[in-house]
């Protein structure tokens, strides 16, 4: 199984709502990532988890709260978002944080619309 | 972190080879060169990677200049399914696996 599964595929939420994005992989990978991608732009790194610990936070606003409850699961909790946060949110995983000669696997993303 | 420079867009005729260039003049000795592509409405997918030597796999070939300051992704016979944005990414062991994406090259394949 070489898949990274993201749910839901689409999400519409109001600015006062709380929602969560979920990402799952069963490849035994110990590094997991969240990216944000606006239309016609490259993905922008948000967070990196290594062995279930937050390793990198790219100065992301606190209305985005990541969580890695176990080695297979990565969540992104959303609260009080703004319309400009509407984007495609991508999850990825790779074997280990320090192994740069291996590939990463990306999910298909969650298309988020904030109204 | 070292940066990459790619043309914004390229066109190719179907069933012809495509050479996608990437400049990385500030590459360090430990940087691996990775290529990913993103088809419309999908997440990025791995294409190929290398350090110093040229590499081949079922999807593409990677040609790395001797001074490593540039590389070229080669698609041997472009198909309509190869229409995507292609990203050249440098990954450095001390910095880890952040996968910082550059602007990429949007490839159009003409039937």
- The confidence score (pLDDT) of residue B72 equals 98
Q: How is the beta sheet containing B18-23 ordered, strand by strand? A: B18-23, B70-75, B61-64, B55-56
Which H or E run includes A96?
A: none
User: Which of B87, B93, B100 is closest, CB to CB, to A45?
Assistant: B100
| β-pair type (A4-7, A18-25) | antiparallel
3-state secondary structure of B104: coil
What count of residues does chain B have?
111
Determine whether the interchain pair B32/A105 forms a contact, defined as Cβ–Cβ distance below 8 Å: no
Give the number of other Cβ atoms within 10 Å of residue A101's Cβ: 12
The tens digit of pLDDT for each residue in A83-114 reads 999 999 999 999 988 888 889 999 999 999 99
**B1 lies within 8 A of chain A by CB:** no
Q: For residue A53, is pLDDT > 90? A: yes
Q: Which of B54, B61, B64 is nearest to B75 (CA)?
A: B61
Tens of pLDDT along B33-68? 999 999 998 999 999 999 999 999 999 999 999 999
Nearest residue, CB atoms, B93 vs list A33, A43, A98: A98
Tokens representing A93?
């995983």
Whether the ω angle into residue A8 lies within 30 degrees of 0, i.e. cis, is: yes
The CA distance from A83 to the nearest CA of chain B, in Å, is 21
Q: Please write the tens of the pLDDT for every residue from A2-50.
A: 799 999 999 999 999 999 999 999 999 999 999 999 999 999 999 999 9
Closest residue by Cα to residue B107 from B6, B3, B12, B2: B12
């Amino acid at each position: 199984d070489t898949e990274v599964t993201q749910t839901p595929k689409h999400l519409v939420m109001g600015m006062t709502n709380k929602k969560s994005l979920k990402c799952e992989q069963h490849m035994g990978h110990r590094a997991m990532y969240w990216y944000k991608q606006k239309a016609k732009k490259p993905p922008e790194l948000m967070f990196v988890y290594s062995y279930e610990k937050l390793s990198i936070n790219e100065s992301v606003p606190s209305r985005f709260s990541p969580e890695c409850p176990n080695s297979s699961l990565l969540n992104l909790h959303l609260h009080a978002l703004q319309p400009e946060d509407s984007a495609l949110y991508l999850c990825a995983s790779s074997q280990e944080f320090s192994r740069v000669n291996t590939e990463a696997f990306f999910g298909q993303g969650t298309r988020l619309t904030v109204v | 972190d070292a940066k990459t420079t790619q043309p914004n867009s390229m066109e190719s005729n179907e069933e012809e080879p495509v050479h996608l260039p990437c400049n990385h003049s500030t590459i360090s000795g430990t940087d691996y060169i990775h290529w990913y592509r993103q088809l419309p409405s999908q997440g990025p997918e791995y294409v190929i990677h290398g350090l110093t030597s040229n590499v081949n796999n079922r999807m593409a070939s990677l040609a790395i200049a001797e001074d490593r300051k540039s590389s070229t992704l080669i698609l041997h016979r472009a198909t309509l399914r190869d229409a995507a944005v292609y990203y050249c990414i440098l990954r450095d062991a001390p910095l880890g696996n952040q996968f910082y994406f550059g602007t990429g090259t949007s490839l159009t394949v003409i039937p």
